[in-house]
Amino acid sequence: MSQAEKSPAERAIDPGPQGSRSPLWTLGLLRSEISTLLRRHRTYALLAVLAAVPVLIGIAVRIETGGGGGGEGGAEGGAGPAFLAQVTNNGFFLVFAALAATLPVFLPMAVGVVAGDAIAGEASSGTLRYLLVAPAGRTRLLLVKYASVLAFCLIATLVVAVSALAVGALLFPVGDVTTISGTRIGFGEGLVRAGLTALVVAVSLAGFAAIGLFVSTLTGSGIGAMAATVGLLITVQILDSIPQLSGVHPYLFAHYWMSFADVLREPVYWDDLSKNFQLQGLYVAVFGSAAWARFTAKDITA
Amino acid sequence: MTDTAAEAGDAAARDARARAVRATGAGVASPAAPVIRTRGLTKRYRGGRPAVDGLDLTVPAGSVFGFLGPNGSGKTTTIRMLMGLIDPTSGTAEVLGRPMPEAARTVLPEVGALIEGPALYGFLNGRDNLLRYDRADPTADPRTRRARVDEALARVGLAAASGKKAKQYSLGMKQRLGLAAALLRPRRLLVLDEPTNGLDPQGMREIRLLVRELAAEGTTVFLSSHLLDEIEQVCTHAAVMARGRLIVQGPVADLAASARGRLAVTTPDPGDAARILKEHGLTGLSTDGDRLTADAPPAAVDLADLNAALVGGGVRVRFFGVERGSLEDAFVALTGEGFDVAG
Ligand SMILES: Nc1ncnc2c1ncn2[C@@H]1O[C@H](COP(=O)(O)OP(=O)(O)OP(=O)(O)O)[C@@H](O)[C@H]1O
Ligand SMILES: [Mg+2]
């Protein structure tokens, strides 16, 4: 261990980049995270299934009403199938019909797969230990993972909406939009409302995404976490449909999901929407903290 | 026979410990602080038997440090604690003079690690794997990222295969890519858990050369291995673990020397030879055809006298000499002959 051998190692401590960390680094890691997510075949399979739903609905409606004219119609609030009747008159409504059809199961299932896999998948492939010794930092990694799951929520919702809009425009006439309240708004204004709706749906999934992330920190098995998350979703949907349990319904993360239709009222009816947002915020706070507490204290042995 | 072997083992361990203490004493005089220092480091997984038990490890700066031990002796567990992946049950660990895992954010950018084999994103190609790991390092400069990745790929001989999906890599190629990830930046410490696992002979040679090269640049290399040859060839220092405990640590030369050599005699009269050697107080005798071996006598005994006694006793000697102890002998003496993994 002569002086000559030691000096390069000591030099390595001094120079600039070692100590300085760019404040934009977290964004760089997030970009890496999202681009990694978008390069998995699994992600494309999920998005393809979501994109296919509006196509199927569109074709089914088209065949069903081939003779022309949607007989049973009328602007009712809330429930999904209500939009179906309007699709034949205005393809624009396929966006809402498709969101209403995918929100109960397909959309959250896709989110559950991605969220459940977020940490557990990295743990089971062993890449988690290398991210941590890089060192990504446990809190930052968790935040970046959650942000990328939220990005996936938005991407998935937009895939459904855009696919529905395209199919609707192809198979049906499009034009001015009749709101649930009965007033008419221009097609441009309608598009804005559709975009807003997609955003609301994506936010609706935030609570469930946080649950998925928490489950993901509990296990070292990606498949296990995905299965548990999706299982939980189905359980909650069943609980939400049992009238005898109406007392707990307002606390179930899926309870206000269908409030997104209120965006299509004139003026927008915010009551249930804001209840939904508050509930999602609560879930994010509770399960986000739980995930953080678990992940920062966890032994990474995989 | 087993008794004498165990005795010899104990003696060897005591010997080596004494030397190691002397070596550490010398280390205090040198200004460089140890790169890794643990005090009473202990880990129990889920309350079971300790996987690592009261470890006091000191890795001097600039050394190539071999971390030896049978399967399940706690090498990987120690490395996980040093890298802040798991919390010790008790005790402390310092890496680069700062406490782990508390100082992970400042320490780890200066540490390259290969822990329990490589882990890769199979759906990304080799280069993108490295880019991803580099992006996870908050202190890595994004402007030099591509250049550093290319350099690391070239260093492990993967430049030509960098566009291939990692899931199509062979075991050795994965191992090389894992090494490349550890070499993305100039490091002060490299922690390599069985780095030559799955490599071909050329690969092993290259890793040895690489380790020497890095050591010459001033990087301290901490490597765990079962391949004693490898340790003997590249390491300046070594430590031996068994059942979670540190048995010995010190300069490799001292450890190998501490394995007492064997006196070997080749003769057509092994029976007489054994009798005469026994009369002269030699222990650990064993005969294999016309070859007779015994624990090397203490330095006070002149080998020439022994040989003369043999010849004087009518033994026809074809070969007579002491065979130097290897690190393998020291290792087996320290950790026991048993093949079964401790439970
Ligand atoms: N995740 C874990 N949970 C519980 N026990 C574990 C875990 N990992 C290791 N152990 C136990 O800790 C002990 C030490 O294991 P470790 O992996 O540190 O050994 P090692 O020296 O690296 O062995 P090898 O040479 O086979 O790699 C073993 O008894 C093992 O069973
Ligand atoms: Mg190991």
The closest ligand to the CA of B114 turns out to be 2
Integer Cα distance of A161 and B299 in angstroms? 88
Element holding B111 (H helix, E strand): strand B111-114
Strands B111-114, B189-193: parallel, antiparallel or unpaired by DSSP?
A: parallel
Residue B329: strand, helix, or coil: helix
- A128-131 long-range contacts, CB within 8 A, separation 24+: A128/A300, A128/A302, A128/B119, A129/A300, A129/A302, A129/B80, A129/B83, A129/B85, A129/B115, A129/B116, A129/B119, A130/B113, A130/B115, A130/B119, A130/B133, A130/B136, A130/B181, A131/B133, A131/B136
Given CB atoms, is B97 within the 8 Å cutoff of chain A? no
Mutate to test the interface with B, among A3, A29, A130, A296 (most CBs of B within 10 A): A130
CB neighbours (10 Å) of residue A24? Answer: 10
CB neighbours (10 Å) of residue B211? Answer: 22
Angle between helices B303-312 and B270-279 (to 10 degrees): 130
Residues having C-beta closer than 5 Å to ion ligand 2: B 76
Return the sign of the alpha-carbon dihedral for residues A90, A95, A98, A100.
negative
Of B61, B134, B139, the CB nearest to A18: B139
More confident residue, B229 or B146: B146
Q: How much is the pTM? A: 0.81
What pLDDT sits at residue A50?
Answer: 94
Distances (CA, A) of A274 to A96, A203, A269: 19, 11, 9
For residue A138 the two structure tokens come to 């446990």
Q: A235, A232, A236, A88: which is closest to A167 by C-alpha?
A: A88
Nearest CA in chain A to B189: A9
* Protein residue whose Cα sits closest to atom 17 of ligand 1: B76
Q: B219, B282, B186: which is closest to B63 by C-alpha?
A: B219
Whether pLDDT at B21 is above 50: no
Phi-psi region of B111 (alpha: psi -120 to 50; beta: other; left: phi over 0): beta
pLDDT digits (tens, 9 = 90+) for B236-260: 998 888 888 888 888 887 776 666 6
Q: Which residue has the tokens 């070692």?
A: A18
Identify whether the C-beta of residue A212 lies closer than 8 Å to the C-beta of residue A116.
Answer: yes
Integer Cα distance of B112 and B99 in angstroms? 17
- Cβ distance A135 to B137 less than 8 Å, yes or no, reads yes
Integer Cα distance of A282 and A285 in angstroms? 5
For residue A236 the two structure tokens come to 């909650």
* Protein residue whose Cα sits closest to atom 26 of ligand 1: B71
pLDDT digits (tens, 9 = 90+) for B207-221: 888 888 889 988 999
pLDDT digits (tens, 9 = 90+) for B158-201: 888 889 999 998 888 888 899 999 999 999 999 999 888 777 78
Neighboring chain A residues of B111 at a CB cutoff of 8 Å: 133
Instruction: Return mean pLDDT, chain B.
Output: 81
Which residue numbers in chain A have pLDDT < 70? 1-25, 66-82
* Protein residue whose Cα sits closest to atom 22 of ligand 1: B76
- What is the predicted ipTM? 0.81
What pLDDT sits at residue B259?
Answer: 62
- CA of B310 to nearest chain A CA: how many angstroms apart? 47
* Protein residue whose Cα sits closest to atom 19 of ligand 1: B72
- CA of A44 to nearest chain B CA: how many angstroms apart? 13
Element holding B240 (H helix, E strand): strand B237-242
Mutate to test the interface with A, among B28, B132, B174 (most CBs of A within 10 A): B132
In our burial notation (b when 16+ CB lie closer than 10 A, e otherwise), range B111-138 reads: bbbbbbbbbbbeebbbbbbbbbbbbbbb
Identify whether the C-beta of residue A180 lies closer than 8 Å to the C-beta of residue A75.
Answer: yes
Q: Which residues of A touch B (CB under 8 A)?
A: 1, 5-10, 12-13, 17-22, 25-26, 28-29, 31-32, 36, 39-41, 125-137, 140-141, 297, 299-301
Mutate to test the interface with B, among A36, A132, A133, A300 (most CBs of B within 10 A): A133
What pLDDT sits at residue B286?
Answer: 82
- Indicate the residue type of B208: R
What pLDDT sits at residue A214?
Answer: 94
Domain ranges in chain A are 22-296
Whether pLDDT at B23 is above 90: no
* Confidence at B20, pLDDT banded by 50, 70, 90: very low
Given CB atoms, is B100 within the 8 Å cutoff of chain A? no
pLDDT digits (tens, 9 = 90+) for B106-156: 999 999 999 988 999 999 999 999 999 999 988 888 888 999 999 999 988
Classify residue A9 by its DSSP letter.
H
Of A17, A36, A297, the CB nearest to B139: A17
Of B87, B124, B219, the CB nearest to A39: B124
